[in-house]
Amino acid sequence: MATIKCIGILTSGGDAPGMNAAIRAVTRAAIYNGLRVKGIYRGYKGLVTGEILEFKTQNVSNIIHQGGTILKTARCKEFTTPEGRALAYENMRKEEIDALVIIGGDGSLTGARIFAQEYDVPCIGLPGTIDNDLYGTDTTIGYDTALNTILDAVDKIRDTATSHERLFFVEVMGRDAGFLALNGAIAAGAEAAIIPEFSTEVDQLAEFIKNGFRKSKNSSIVLVAESDITGGAMALAERVKNEYPQYDVRVSILGHLQRGGRPTAHDRIIASRMGTASIEALMEGQRNVMIGIEHDEIVYVPFTKAIKNDKPIKKELVNVLNSLSI
């Protein structure tokens, strides 16, 4: 710990509500513990190009309630090359940055793991992604806010679905993880969720139709995780039109509105806890770990586990949705 006097913070990958709360927590916890802080703009791209600014406590005033990230985020092809990472390390040395805190998803943590191995840089990751797909943490920064955004949208869609007696497919984000779709369906009282975790085992659409979803309802809503595995909402709607033409089907793709908005209290709190824990981890001599929360306790998860292990969907949640959708 004696060698760490200055830390750099960056946000990378897709933005997530609560990232600003995490930036604030990392900055203030570091300053509280006598460390200097440098904000790195536009993710790894800013590390490569040297877009770096010293942060004081006032730099993070009045941002806890803001969505997005004040540090911006961008994709960086250069950082995927050894030459790009060499430039990034050179800029770190120039700015006297001794350790990095990276806020992002699995791609961001993968980049951190490679960089840490090549240059022996202490790196701490914070799970900032609405997908909630990182292994070793019960929840990720931004997930709760995105879930509540989905809930608000589906509540509105149900009004028109009921009025017109339609079947609605609502596509939500999550890439290859069905957490938003499944928990969103439970919270919104939807009839089903089509998620990638089970698409290879059963034809979820056929099961949904076979179960007679119109027995007791004049409208239905199905949440679909965007994924090549599920085919997405448009492909499923096309199937219904071809295979079950008796149903009046519509599609709503929520898209990027799920990433925006003011973070919920839950996301602000976990971002603050994780941000503070990242500095504590560095002071304890930890490196190359992601800060997670399990059973409401802070845990350190090695990058290799967080990235390589698939986070499982609880079958119990699927059973809850099935039993309540009759």
Same domain, 274 and 133: yes
84 closest CA partner among 45, 53, 54: 45
Number of domains in the chain: 2
* In a domain? residue 54: yes
- The span from the CA of 254 to the CA of 180, in Å, is 12
* In a domain? residue 233: yes
Same domain, 135 and 242: no
Same domain, 289 and 300: yes
The enclosing domain of 152 has a CATH number of 3.40.50.460
* In a domain? residue 165: yes
* The one catalytic residue among 106, 131, 133, 144: 131
220 closest CA partner among 181, 254, 189: 189
* In a domain? residue 284: yes
pLDDT at 200: 58
Same domain, 81 and 169: no
Which residues in the chain land under pLDDT 70?
A: 1-2, 200-202, 212-218
pTM equals 0.95
* In a domain? residue 227: yes
pLDDT at 154: 96
Same domain, 148 and 243: yes
pLDDT at 214: 52
Q: Which two structure tokens, joined as six digits, stand for 221?
A: 């809503």
Specify whether 203 is catalytic: no
Indicate if the alpha-carbon torsion angle 149, 44, 96, 99 is positive or negative.
positive
pLDDT at 1: 46
Tokens 């034809």 belong to which residue?
Answer: 203
pLDDT at 55: 98
pLDDT at 202: 66
Question: For 203-224, how does the pLDDT look when each residue is reduced to its tens digit (9 = 90+)?
Answer: 888 877 777 655 555 678 999 9
pLDDT at 57: 97
The enclosing domain of 300 has a CATH number of 3.40.50.450
Q: How far is CA 169 from CA 75, 174, 238, 282, in A?
A: 31, 15, 11, 45
pLDDT at 162: 84
pLDDT at 325: 81
pLDDT at 264: 98
Q: How far is CA 293 from CA 13, 87, 264, in A?
A: 21, 34, 17
pLDDT at 2: 53
Same domain, 148 and 136: no
Same domain, 100 and 80: yes
Q: What is the span of the domain harbouring residue 182?
A: 144-259
Tokens 């009839």 belong to which residue?
Answer: 191
pLDDT at 176: 84
Please provide the size of the chain in residues.
326
